Copies of this chain bind each other. A is one copy, B any other.
Amino acid sequence: MLLLSVDRQRKIPLFKQISEQIRRMISIEVLKEGDRLPSTRELANQLKLNRSTISRAYEELWALGFLESSSGTYTRVRKRAALKATELNEAVSAPTHLNLVDKLTPSCKKMISSLPKTIRLFEPSEESKDLAHDSKVIDLSTLSPDPQLWPVDEFRKTLNHQISFQGKTLFDYDDPAGNLGLRTALAEYLGRHQINLTPDELIITNGAQGALDLIFRSLISTGNRIITEKPTYSYIMPLSKYYGANLIQIPTDHSGMDLKILEKTLKKEPSSIIYTMPNFQNPMGISTTQEHRENLLRICETYKAPLIEDGFLEELKYTGKTILPIKSMDKKDYVIYIGSFSKVLFPSLRIGWIAANPSYIEKLIELRRMTELSGNAIIQATMAGYLNNGMYEKYVRKIHTKYRERLQVAMQAARSWLDLPGLKFTKPSGGFLFWISWENPPCREDYFLKKIQSKNISLTPGSRFFASPQVHINMRISIARANPEEISLGIKEIGSTIREILREKQ
């Protein structure tokens, strides 16, 4: 006799409850191939159910291939080649056949795992901010715009407007280059930074990271060199490794990459691509001068080296005179300019872009068509609308006021509390970041981090941005997700922690 039970209180139909239980019995081989099931009449009597309920359950099991279909009755367990038992909780190790080729080398994997887990589920949102307040943790690490300033309602209105207006067009495959409306609006927007181009010189990507990946895919193979600032954006490192390129970091101070060393390096290594972030650089917060940019471009032209210019936070300059993007001076098409709305508006948009020579863009479009067909037209068209209706500009003006204030507070606090021997900090003219260097500290980074964490301060350790170990301790400080009081208090605590360590180790 089959041990089955049904529960009339449950929302699942009775026949479904029965078929599920029998299916499970077959899966764990309580019922084996060829086993006979009770007749519908027997089982109906046993369970005090209508016979038709049992018939439905059997019919379903037959339709799913669990029961024999011959002779019109469904009363034998069918012979099956391989049925997965639902041992979902059992520990499963990767079968070796899936390691056919493991493109992620161990060093590459190690690198990835040492990266900040910036991407956390449902974090950092308003909720986690509240949590941060509760637990008194001051967040000086997150590099992502403050959700409290996000124009969710305006964006939603634009979204609804675009759907009403453009209708089904937005739900179909779109151009693999990205939505034409968005590329047109973006061309206009880049024009404000004196980057003059047509929509054909643009491709929309999955954020700036997707842009880097697409460029690396198209240009890098094993043995090429990627030349970056030292320190540089941390995600460049695993990506370079993944594509088999050698990463070379060029010493960088408050005025940018050392161009003499760059030139020497290029002489030795002609097959190189240069990556630079000229504004409010991640991690140092520095910006290069117009002159530095012109010289960098001239070097690229001389050594025929493509230059990836990451226009990170291009629109977040708070003080000082405008400095033009390198792309705006790029007469000979050496610059591949990338950007993103993730760090200014919403990270989840996943809208980044590449601006470059149109025949190179054409190649990237083919690559993207082959790998993704196209992007999300709904979100892209909404972003186009949001640019065209002037709301983006208004929003940027609003956040300027807020972030400028935070940065001023940070600089004031740094002047007050970080005036210590061996300590230096950068003085950014925009963006979210500044950089503290502690030269020849009497302890290791680990020790310092433990101390600072115990004071409920969260910051990003500088070692993440170097390809090789460093003697100094460096810290990246982000003002993106802390309010002025927190910023001031946090920097004061950093200062007093350093003082404590200096006293301790004397």
Contacts and interface: CB of A to CB of B under 8 A. Distances in A.
Number of copies: 2
* Max chain B Cβ within 10 angstroms of own Cβ: one of A83, A322, A358: A83
Interface in A55-82: 59, 62-66, 69, 80-82
Given A188-B83, A372-B206, A65 B388 contact: yes
A169 B322 contact: no
A334 interface: yes
* Max chain B Cβ within 10 angstroms of own Cβ: one of A121, A127, A271: A121
A197 interface: yes
Interface in A107-166: 109, 112-113, 118-127, 144, 147, 150, 152, 155-156, 159-160, 162-163, 165-166
A375 interface: yes
Given A172-B348, A332-B95, A379-B379, A366 B109 contact: yes
A82 to B, nearest CB: 3
Contacts of A152: 163, 167-168, 171
| A: contact size bracket | 35 or more
A392 B175 CA distance: 26
A210 B367 CA distance: 12
Interface in A332-381: 332-334, 336, 342, 346-350, 356-360, 363, 366-367, 369-379, 381
Contact of A88 (B200, B294, B371, B373): B200
A22 to B, nearest CB: 13
A181 B62 CA distance: 10
Given A173-B348, A189-B81, A191-B80, A271 B100 contact: yes
Contact of A169 (B122, B291, B295): B122
Given A172-B124, A191-B82, A94 B372 contact: no
Interface in A189-243: 189-192, 194, 196-198, 200, 206-207, 209-210, 213, 217-221, 224, 235, 238-239, 242
A175 B119 contact: yes
Given A102-B218, A209-B371, 8 more contacts: A63-B321, A82-B294, A113-B366, A119-B374, A127-B169, A155-B171, A171-B348, A376-B379
Interface of A: 27, 59, 62-66, 69, 80-86, 88, 92-98, 100-104, 109, 112-113, 118-127, 144, 147, 150, 152, 155-156, 159-160, 162-163, 165-176, 180-181, 184-185, 187-192, 194, 196-198, 200, 206-207, 209-210, 213, 217-221, 224, 235, 238-239, 242, 271, 273, 290-291, 293-295, 297-298, 301, 304-306, 321-324, 328-334, 336, 342, 346-350, 356-360, 363, 366-367, 369-379, 381, 384-385, 387-389
21 contacts: A63-B322, A64-B184, A64-B322, A65-B185, A69-B389, A82-B294, A83-B191, A88-B200, A94-B357, A97-B305, A100-B219, A104-B218, A113-B366, A147-B171, A152-B163, A174-B348, A213-B370, A239-B370, A348-B378, A350-B372, A350-B376
